[in-house]
Structure 1
Amino acid sequence: MISAEQALYILSEEGCSPEVIRHSLAVSRKSAEIARKISENGHDVDLELVKVGSILHDIGRSRTHGISHGVEGSRILRGRGLEELANFAERHLGAGITAEEAEKLNIPTKNYLPSSLEEKIVTYTDNLLRGDEVISLEEALEELRRELGPEHPSLKRFREIHEELRGLGGFQ
C-alpha cells in the first residue's frame, strides 16, 4: 500500500488541478473521521485504505471532468499497479452505477457499485462535499436529485449507504 504522501504526489504527477487536490484532501479528512468512528465502535475498517483511496478517488479528473472520470481514474491507477485503489476511482460516482446505467451513460458496461466498507465510506463522503466544504445530508440528496432526477436509483443507494454507515456508528 502506498502512503498518503505518495498518493498526493501521484495526483500532482498526473496533472490534477489544485481544486481537485483540495477536494480529495477534504474527502480524505471526512472519510477518515467516519472510518475512525466505525472502528471505535468495534467494526473492522482499514483506515489507511480509506485515507489513500479517498485521496485518489478523483484522479481521473486529470483527464476529464465528465462521468467517465471514474473509469479514467481506474485506468490510471491500474496502470500503476494499484488495483485495490483503482476501485475507489471506479466506484465512487453518485452512489455507484449499475451495468444498465453504465450502458446508458456510454461507459464500459459493468457494475460500478461500491462493495467494500472502505469504498462505501469514500463514495458517501464524496457526496457530502461541495468542493472542499462539507454539506448536509439533505443538501447532498438535493444535489443528486438536481443532477440525476428525483427518482434516480442513486438516491436510494445513497440513503442505503447512509443508513449502513450510521448503523456502524460512523455518525449520528
Structure 2
Amino acid sequence: MAKKVYTPSEDLLDGLKQDVLYLLLTILAHREKQRLPNLGKMSREDLVLELALLESGTRDIIARLTALDDDGSGSRSFPNALAAMNREGLAARKAEELKAHVKAYRAAINDLKVNHRNSYISHVQEFAEVLPRVLDKPVRFEMAASLSVNVLDALMGRQVEYRFRVGSQEPELDLRARLSGP
C-alpha cells in the first residue's frame, strides 16, 4: 500500500491566500456592480442581464466561502491547513487557539452552506426558484467573508495583505482597505 502524501501547510496557506484574494476581488466587483451605476442608461434587458450576472457573482462567492470549509481529503481549506499544521508539530496551545478560529468559521458558514448552497446552487431542490434574488432576497455573505480573512490571518500568524494590480498603469488595489469601508 502506498504511503499517503500530505501537502505541506505552507503550500496550503499560500493557496488559501490566493483563494481569499480572489474571493475579495469578486466581492469588490459584486459590491461595485450592485450599485447599478448605469441604471439610468440601461434598458430593461440590460437590467435583467446585470441582475443575472450579480446572481452569478453571489453564487461564486458562496461557493468560494463554503470551499474554505471543506474538510474532504485533498481539499485546500481551513480545516485541512490546520490539520497539516498539527501534523508538522504545532504547539498544543496554538493548535487549540487556531481550532477555535476554524470552528467559528465553520459555524458561521453553516447557514450559507445549508440554506443557500445546498438548496439553491449545488443540490438544487425540485421546486427551487431560479430567478435572481439579488434585489428581493440578497444573500448576506459579508460576515463570513470577513471571518475568512480573520481565520487566514490567525493561521498565518500575521495580518495578510490582499493587494491586486489591474495593470502597470493603474495603482495597486488594497482589497482589505477597500472592503473594510461602506
Q: TM-score normalized by structure 1? A: 0.29
> Relative contact order: is structure 1 or structure 2 higher (C-alpha 8 Å, sep ≥ 6)?
2
Q: TM-score normalized by structure 2? A: 0.28
